[in-house]
Structure 1
Amino acid sequence: MLARQSPLNAQDRELHRFRFRVAFAAVAVAVAFFVLIARFVHLQVMRHDYYTTRAEDNRISLVPIVPNRGVIVDRQGVVLARNYSAFTLEITPSKVDDLDATIEGLGKVIEVLPKDRKRFRKLLDESKTFESLPIRSRLSEEEVARFAANRYLFPGVEVKARLFRQYPLGAVASHAIGYISRINKRDLEMIEESEQAANYKGTDHIGKTGLEQKYEFQLHGETGYEQVEIDAGGRAIRNLSRTAPVQGNNLTLTLDAGLQEMAEKAFGDRRGALVAIEPSTGGILALVSTPTFDPNLFIDGIRTDDWDLLNTSPDKPLLNRALNGAYPPGSTFKPFMALAALETGKRTAGQTISDPGFFNFGGHQFRDDKKGGHGTVDMYKSIVQSCDTYYYMLANDMGIESIARFMGQLGLGRRTGVDIEGESEGVLPSPEWKRRRFKRPEQQKWFAGETISIGIGQGYNAYTPIQLAQAVATVANNGVMYRPHLVKYITDSRTGEKTMIEPEPLRVLPWKRQNVETIKKAMIGVNTAGTGARAFAGAAYVSGGKTGTAQVFSLKGSDYKSARLKEELRDHALFIAFAPADEPKIALAVLVENGGFGAQSAAPIARMVFDYYLLGKLPKGAANEVDAEED
C-alpha cells in the first residue's frame, strides 16, 4: 500500500514549478527586450539614412514640369509649328468611384460633347487608370470659373493648364512637318530604349511623323521638377524648391513656306507630289504630297470619324507620296539614259538612228508614241522630241547591268537619307534585284526583252519623286550630289547658339563636263522647242526640263484615249527640271497621279514653282492645262 503524499511535498513541487515559470517568463521577456532593442538599433542607427530618405519621400513629392516644345520655322522665319497655353478639364479614373456618373454630372456644368466622350473612352482604353486624362480641352474663362464653383462635387476631376501644339498654316507642309499626338505603348518602349524615360515624366505627347518625329529629342527639351511637401492625405502643403524646365531647341528649315503653299494649291484637287531642291546644297525648298491633311486634328487624339475619313479615303491623304510613292519615271528617265550612253561610250551626241516608229526585238514590236516615227534622230532630238525608239535601241545596246550600275550612282532605287523617317527605297531593276524579288526559279531569270522597256522608264522601274529630284539636281550641279535635307540649323534654346546642318556631298560623279553640257542643252531644248515648250512659253529665264508619261496598265496595242478610261487607269504625268540653266538655283520633280501627259499636267506646275521662286510672282495662265500630243 503506497504512502500518502504529504501536503508539504506537494506545496514544494508547486512552488518549484511556479519559480520555473517565473524564470522562463523573465528570460523570455529579456530576450524579447533584447530583440526589440536590437531592432531599434538596426532601424534607428544602422538604417537611419535609409528610413530618413523614405520618410522624406513620403513627405515630399516630385512633380514633373513639362518643357515648352521647340518651335519650327521656315527659311524666312514663318512659323510652321508653335505652342500655346490653355485650360483642360481632366479626370483621374483611379480617384473616381463612378466614372459615368461623374461625366454626366460634368456635362451639366460644362458642355461635354459626344465626340469628347468618345475621345476620352479611347484614351482610357490606351492609358493607365491613375493617369490624368482630358475630357474637355481649351476651356473658356467662363467655363473654368463655373467648374471652380462646383469643384467640391467632383473628386478626381481638376482643371489644368496645358501647353498645346499648333500648326498655324494648317495642312501646308503637313507631310514634311508631321504632327504630335499622345504617347502610346510603342512610344514608351522607344523612349525607354533611348534612355530618355526620366526626361519624359509628365509628357503626354510625342512626335509621330515628319520632322516632329525625326527631331523629337531636340524639340522636346528637358523636363523640370517641383518639390512639393504633402500631408498624410496626399494634399499639397507648400512648394519647397523648383528646377525650371529647359525649352526644346528650335528648328529652322530650308523649306520656303510661300513656295510650299503655292505648289500645293497648283495641284488643285489632283493627287501627286513635288520635291524642289537647291542643287548646290541639297536643301529642300518644297516637299509636296497631295492631298494633304490638317495635323491639328491629331494633337488631342483624332476623332474617330476624322480618322475614318483620312484612313479610308481612296485618295490616301496620309500617304507621303514624295517619299513613299514609287512610280515608273517614264520619259524623265531618258536624259539619264543619254548621259549613261555618253559616259559609257555607247553613243556620241551626233550619232543618229532611223526611227520608223517601232523597234522589233525577239518577235515583239516595241512601239514609239509617234506613229511613223521621228525620222532621223540624234541624241538632242531624242530628248527634245522624246523618241522612244532611240532608247529602245540604246537599252538593248547597253544591257541591264550597265544601266543599273549608272542609275545606282545617281541614287535611283536607294533611299536618299532625307531627314524624315520611313522613306521608301523604290526599285532599280537588275538581274540581282530580280533574283531577290521572286521566289520561283523561272521568275528569277532576267530576259533580254525586259531591258528594252527599262530604257524608256517603264518595266520594273519604280522611283520616288525625291529620288528623281535628287537625280536631276545632281545633273544640274554637274555631278556633285548632296543629301536632301529639310533642317537648315538648330537653335539651342538656352544659349541661342545655332548648329548648322552642313550640306553633305554624298559623291562627286566623274562625269565629263562636255557630256553633262550635252544633256543640259537638250533639256533646255525641251522647254524651248520640245514637249515642255508650251508650258514655258514667255518665261523670263532659261530652264531645262523633261516631260514624262508613266503607263499605269498595258493597253496591249490599243491607242491611248484618256477620256475613255477610268481615272485610276490613266497614265501618270511627270516632269523634271532645273533653272536658271546657266547657274541652277532650283531643281525639281513633279508627279501628277493619273494626270495623263507630263506636258499637260506636270509641266505647268513646275512653271508656276519656278516663276514664284525665281521671280516672286505667279505666271498668267500657267495653271491652265495645255494641249499636248507627246509626253
Structure 2
Amino acid sequence: MTEFRTPAADLARFRLRVVVAAVFVLICLGLLAARFHFLQVQRHDYFLTRAEDNRIALLPVVPHRGTIVDRNGVVLARNYATYTLEIMPSEVRDLEGTLAELSTLVPIEPRDLRRFRKLFEESRNFESVPVRSRLTDEEVARVVSQRYRLPGVDVRARLLRDYPQGTTAAHVVGYIGRINERDVERIEERGQTANYRGTLHIGKAGLEQSYEAELHGTTGVEQVEVNASGRAVRALSHTPASSGNDLELTLDIELQRVAETAFGDRRGALVAIEPSTGGVLALVSMPTYDPNLFVDGISTQDWRALNESPDHPLLHRAIYSTYPPGSTFKPFMALAGLETGKRTARQAIHDVGYFNFGGHRFMDDKIGGHGMVDLHKSIVVSCNTYYYQLANELGIEGIASFMAPFGFGDRTGIDLPGEAIGVLPSPEWKRNRFRKPEQQRWYAGETISVGIGQGYNAFTPLQLANAMAALVNDGKLFRPHVVKYVVDSRTGERRAIEPEPLREIPLKQAHLKAVLDAMVDVNKSGTGRRAFQGAPYSVGGKTGTAQVFSLRGQRYVEKNVRERLRDHSWFVAYAPAENPKIALAVLVENGGFGSQSAAPIARQVIDYYLLDQRAGAPAAEDDNATESEDAANGTAPARTGEGDPPPREPAAPAVPQAALVPGQPTRVTR
C-alpha cells in the first residue's frame, strides 16, 4: 500500500520537533544558569573559604608549660627545647619505606618505632607524629639535607619536660605523659579540644595532674600560606600562645631530701605540716621513682620494673595507703576521755598487766603491768590497759564522734589526686561495709582494740599528721595544701592559695595542756627519749607500733617473722613544744617498734628544719639492754622499754561471741 505525505504536514511536524528541542535546551540552560548562580553567588563565601584553605593552613602554637618551684625557688619541674623528628601521615605514600630511609640517617631504636606506631594509630592524618626526640645538631643536619626526597618528614623544635630533682619529691610533683584516648575523652568533656591542638602531653600524676589547667596555658594559632606540596612559604598572621602559670610550693625540697635519705632503702611515708597554715613542708613516699622516665614514653622494661616491684614505688603511701595507727592514737583517746568527763588528768587506774573483758584478757605491753597509771603516765609509758578501760567506757560511737572532727576516716582535701578516705570504725560503717548480718553486728570486744589504735582503724599518714597539727594548733584544723602561690605567666602576679580552715574543734586548754605535756615527756623520759636525747629544743611526740597480722596468742619474736609481716613503726611529733612550727607523722612499713625505726627519722627531719643541719641525734647507749637480756633468759622480770619488743598475748580462753569476733585476737601495741 502506498503512503502519500504532503509537504505541509512534514513541515508542521518538523517545526514541532524544533520547538520541543528548543524548550528542552532552554530548560537545561536555565538549570545550568541557576546552578552557576547558586555556586558563584549564594555559595561564594563558602567556596572562597575552601579555596583559601587549600592555600592557607592554621597551625597550632603549643604553649610553654608552667614551671614548678619549691618554697625557696628551687626548680622541681621545667621545660627545655629539643629537636624532634616527625612525620605527617597525610603526606607520606610509603610509610615503611620512609621509616627505613630515616633509619639510615639517624639511629631509630625499636622502642622509638613501637611508640611511633602506637601514636600513629591514635593520631589524625593532619597531625604530625614524632618518631624520635632529642636529636643532636649533626642528626638534624643530616635529616634536613635529605628532606627534599622525604615528603612528609620534618624536624621541629619542641619543648620537653624535665624534672631536675630526679626521684626527690616525685610523688608530689608527678609527671606528664603522652595524651591517650582516655585523656582525649576528658578533654572533650571539658570543652578544651581546641586548646589542646598540637599538644602531645598532659599531666598524669601529682601536681602535674591536679594543676593541669594552670600549668598547660592557652594554645595560639599561626596562619601560614602553603605551596602545592603542603609546605609553608610565608606567615600570614600569628596569635601567640599564652604560657602556663607557674607554681610555688609550700614544700621545702631540702627538707624533703633529708627525710627521703633518712629512710634509706626502707618503705614508708612521712608528712610534715605547718600547723598554723596547713602548708605541707615535706611529703615523702618511699621507695620513689624517676618521673623523667615517663616524659617521652616509658620503656616496657622500665614500666615492668616499676609496676611489678614488690615495693610498689609508684604507690603514694603518704596519701593513698592506710594503716592502723597503733599507739599514736592514744593522745587523741586521752583527750576524748578528758573532754567527755570519763577521765580527769589525775584519775588513776591500777594496771595489773591486762584488761579482762568477756572472759578474754587484753594484754598490756608490760608483763605484770605498770602499777598505778594516770593520764600523763599512760601516754609517757604507752600503757595499753589504761586505754582498754577508757575505750570500754567511751563506747565505739563515743570514740567515732570525737575522732571524726580531727579528720580521721575522711579525705583531707589536699590538692593532690588519689587521696584515700581511710576507716574510722563505727557500727554504721560496719553495716555499710559488710553484707552478711553476722558480719554487720558490732561486738563490744572490738571497741577495746580500737582504743589502742588497732582493730578496724585505718588512716593515711596524711590524716594522722593533719590531726596532730590540729591538736597542737588549739583544735584549728586546716585543709593541707602543697601549692602556696600560682604565678601568672604574663603579669607575674602571684595569687596566694590562702590557708583554708576546715573547722575549729572546741577543746579546753587545760585538757590540751595535759595531753601535750605528756607528749613532751615521752621524749624526755618515755618511749621516745633515746631518739631525742640531747636535742637543743623541746619536742612532743608519741611512738606507735601497728600489727600487720595476728599470731593468735603466740609470742612475737621479730627475727622469727618474715620481714613483710613484721609490725609497722609509727612516730608522731611536733616542735618546738612551746610554739609548734612543724607537726609530722612518720611511718616505716614493717619497721618494728616506733622508737627504733620511725622516731630517729623524725629527729633528723626536725633537726634540719629547726637547726638547719642534716646530722641526726647521736647514738645513745641502750640503758635497757642488760635488763632485756636478763628478761629473755628468764632471770629478771620482763619489761618493754622503748625499742624492746612487747610480749604477745598468751593463748586466750574461749570468748563469748558477744565480746569478740572469733579469729580476731587482740595484739599488744606500743
Bucket of the pairwise TM-score, normalised by the shorter protein? over 0.9
Change (3 A) 1:122 1:50: closer
Deviates more, 1:130-139 or 1:476-485: 130-139
Which one of 558, 563, 578 corresponds to residue 559 of structure 2? 563
Aligned-residue offset at 1:136: 1.4
Asked if 1:494 is matched to 2:509, the reply is no
Q: Equivalences for 1:449-528 in 2 at 5 Å?
A: 449-528=445-524
Listed as ranges, the gaps of 5+ residues in structure 2 are 623-641, 646-669
Counterpart-to-counterpart distance in 1, 2:113 and 2:59: 28
Asked if 1:101 is matched to 2:102, the reply is no
Residues 604 and 622 of structure 1 are in contact (CA less than 8 Å); yes or no, is this contact kept in structure 2? no
Aligned partner of 1:377: which letter? Answer: V
Aligned-residue offset at 1:628: 1.0
Aligned partner of 1:213: which letter? Answer: Q
Aligned-residue offset at 1:55: 2.6
Aligned partner of 1:167: which letter? Answer: Y
Asked if 1:441 is matched to 2:456, the reply is no
Counterpart-to-counterpart distance in 2, 1:43 and 1:188: 38
Counterpart-to-counterpart distance in 1, 2:542 and 2:457: 17
Q: Classify the secondary structure of the residue corresponding to 1:407.
A: helix
**Correspondence for 2:373:** 377
**Correspondence for 2:650:** none
Asked if 1:55 is matched to 2:70, the reply is no
TM-score calculated relative to the size of structure 1 = 0.97
**Correspondence for 1:628:** 643
**Correspondence for 1:38:** 34
Aligned-residue offset at 1:230: 2.2
Aligned partner of 1:182: which letter? Answer: R
Counterpart-to-counterpart distance in 1, 2:389 and 2:38: 93
Which one of 384, 387, 407 corresponds to residue 388 of structure 1? 384
Listed as ranges, the gaps of 5+ residues in structure 1 are none
Counterpart-to-counterpart distance in 2, 1:39 and 1:105: 49
Deviates more, 1:470-479 or 1:84-93: 84-93
Which one of 160, 184, 187 corresponds to residue 188 of structure 1? 184
Paired residues, number: 627
Question: Root-mean-square deviation (CA), in Å?
Answer: 1.6
**Correspondence for 2:546:** 550
Q: Equivalences for 1:136-535 in 2 at 5 Å?
A: 136-535=132-531
Aligned-residue offset at 1:621: 5.1
Counterpart-to-counterpart distance in 1, 2:92 and 2:618: 62
Which one of 85, 98, 117 corresponds to residue 89 of structure 1? 85
**Correspondence for 1:115:** 111
Counterpart-to-counterpart distance in 1, 2:309 and 2:618: 29
**Correspondence for 2:569:** 573
Counterpart-to-counterpart distance in 2, 1:306 and 1:624: 42
Counterpart-to-counterpart distance in 1, 2:519 and 2:613: 24
Aligned-residue offset at 1:256: 0.3
**Correspondence for 1:603:** 599
Counterpart-to-counterpart distance in 2, 1:238 and 1:93: 22
Aligned-residue offset at 1:620: 4.4
1:231-268 superposed Cα distances (whole Å, 9 cap, x missing partner): 34433231101011111001000000100111111100
Q: Classify the secondary structure of the residue corresponding to 1:199.
A: helix
Residues 351 and 386 of structure 2 are in contact (CA less than 8 Å); yes or no, is this contact kept in structure 1? yes
Counterpart-to-counterpart distance in 1, 2:465 and 2:287: 20
1:341-362 superposed Cα distances (whole Å, 9 cap, x missing partner): 1111110111111111111111
Residues 266 and 608 of structure 1 are in contact (CA less than 8 Å); yes or no, is this contact kept in structure 2? yes
1:99-137 superposed Cα distances (whole Å, 9 cap, x missing partner): 333323222211112332233234334444554222211
Aligned-residue offset at 1:33: 1.8
Residues 601 and 625 of structure 1 are in contact (CA less than 8 Å); yes or no, is this contact kept in structure 2? no
Q: Classify the secondary structure of the residue corresponding to 2:573.
A: strand
Change (3 A) 1:307 1:142: same
1:449-476 superposed Cα distances (whole Å, 9 cap, x missing partner): 0000000000000000000000000011
Asked if 1:589 is matched to 2:585, the reply is yes
Aligned partner of 2:536: which letter? Answer: A
Residues 476 and 505 of structure 2 are in contact (CA less than 8 Å); yes or no, is this contact kept in structure 1? yes
Counterpart-to-counterpart distance in 2, 1:354 and 1:66: 72
Counterpart-to-counterpart distance in 1, 2:38 and 2:128: 40
Aligned partner of 2:465: which letter? Answer: A
Aligned-residue offset at 1:401: 0.1
Aligned-residue offset at 1:421: 1.3
Counterpart-to-counterpart distance in 2, 1:625 and 1:611: 20
Counterpart-to-counterpart distance in 1, 2:528 and 2:423: 27
Percentage of matched positions with identical amino acids: 63
**Correspondence for 1:73:** 69
Counterpart-to-counterpart distance in 1, 2:236 and 2:591: 66
1:555-606 superposed Cα distances (whole Å, 9 cap, x missing partner): 1122211111111100000011100001000000000000000100000000
Q: Classify the secondary structure of the residue corresponding to 1:365.
A: strand
Counterpart-to-counterpart distance in 1, 2:125 and 2:228: 22
Deviates more, 1:218-227 or 1:90-99: 90-99
Change (3 A) 1:437 1:617: same
Counterpart-to-counterpart distance in 1, 2:494 and 2:420: 31
Change (3 A) 1:131 1:41: closer
Aligned-residue offset at 1:192: 1.4
Q: Classify the secondary structure of the residue corresponding to 1:324.
A: coil
Residues 406 and 467 of structure 2 are in contact (CA less than 8 Å); yes or no, is this contact kept in structure 1? yes
Residues 127 and 198 of structure 2 are in contact (CA less than 8 Å); yes or no, is this contact kept in structure 1? no
Q: Classify the secondary structure of the residue corresponding to 1:322.
A: coil
Counterpart-to-counterpart distance in 2, 1:352 and 1:224: 72
Aligned-residue offset at 1:277: 0.2
Asked if 1:28 is matched to 2:24, the reply is yes
Counterpart-to-counterpart distance in 1, 2:294 and 2:419: 22
Aligned-residue offset at 1:496: 1.1
**Correspondence for 2:631:** none
Aligned partner of 1:468: which letter? Answer: L
Aligned partner of 2:435: which letter? Answer: K
Q: Classify the secondary structure of the residue corresponding to 1:600.
A: coil
Residues 600 and 617 of structure 2 are in contact (CA less than 8 Å); yes or no, is this contact kept in structure 1? no
Counterpart-to-counterpart distance in 1, 2:287 and 2:620: 19
